[in-house]
């Protein structure tokens, strides 16, 4: 069984851990660089992207994780995790950084602020319809041809990618860990 880490600095860590445990994988909470040792992949959860970015630096994880990503380490980012993996953050703070591993441009809170959060069905390629929970979700405004789109969603302003993969890096606008449906996480763990 694969060993999957969940970045446990801030955000919906517990929900990802519970989902992965239901899939039968070995789960490790990652708070320090040594926690990354021996992992087959990592989930970067939703939360507040600028806070997570700050904590990645202060924990010493930023440089180590960047190196692992450059070497092909598999990572699945949901919501803030997607933001942290994206090439362009369209409305980020001036000091906001990312790992620049997904050739996508994202807009933080692209589907609206907290009060505009919603749930909707999302059709995922080769999986079917899954529940999508969008909480202050980032919107993928554009992506390069080398990005594989696994799911799109139209919130009234045209189709936008909401689940993407580029090589070893996955990104998701919604929160699959906040539902009882395990299939999105299963897609990722099956790739390990």
Please report, to the nearest 10 degrees, the dihedral formed by the alpha carbons of residues 53, 54, 56, 57 taken in order. 120
Q: Which residues form the catalytic set?
A: 79, 175, 177
Residue with the two structure tokens 């995922």: 124
The rounded radius of gyration (Å) of the Cα atoms in the chain is 15
Query: What Å distances lie between residue 11 and 4, 49, 134, 141, CA to CA?
Result: 17, 9, 15, 23
């Amino acid at each position: 069984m694969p060993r999957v880490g969940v970045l446990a600095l801030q955000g919906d860590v517990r929900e990802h851990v519970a989902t992965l445990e239901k899939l039968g994988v070995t789960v490790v909470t990652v708070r320090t660089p040594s926690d990354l040792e021996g992992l087959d992949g990592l989930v970067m959860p939703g939360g507040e992207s600028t806070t997570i970015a700050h904590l990645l630096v202060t924990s010493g994880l930023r440089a180590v994780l960047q190196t692992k990503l450059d070497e092909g380490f598999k990572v699945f980012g949901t919501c803030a995790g997607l933001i942290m993996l994206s090439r362009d953050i369209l409305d980020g703070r001036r000091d906001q950084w990312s790992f620049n591993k997904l050739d996508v441009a994202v807009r933080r809170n692209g589907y609206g602020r907290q009060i505009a959060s919603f749930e909707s069905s999302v059709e995922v390629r080769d999986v079917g319809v899954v529940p999508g929970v969008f909480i202050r979700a980032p919107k993928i405004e554009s992506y390069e041809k080398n990005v594989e789109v696994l799911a799109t969603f139209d919130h009234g302003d045209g189709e936008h990618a909401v689940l993407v993969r580029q090589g070893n890096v996955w990104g998701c606008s919604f929160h699959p860990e906040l539902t009882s449906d395990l299939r999105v996480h299963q897609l990722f763990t099956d790739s390990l």
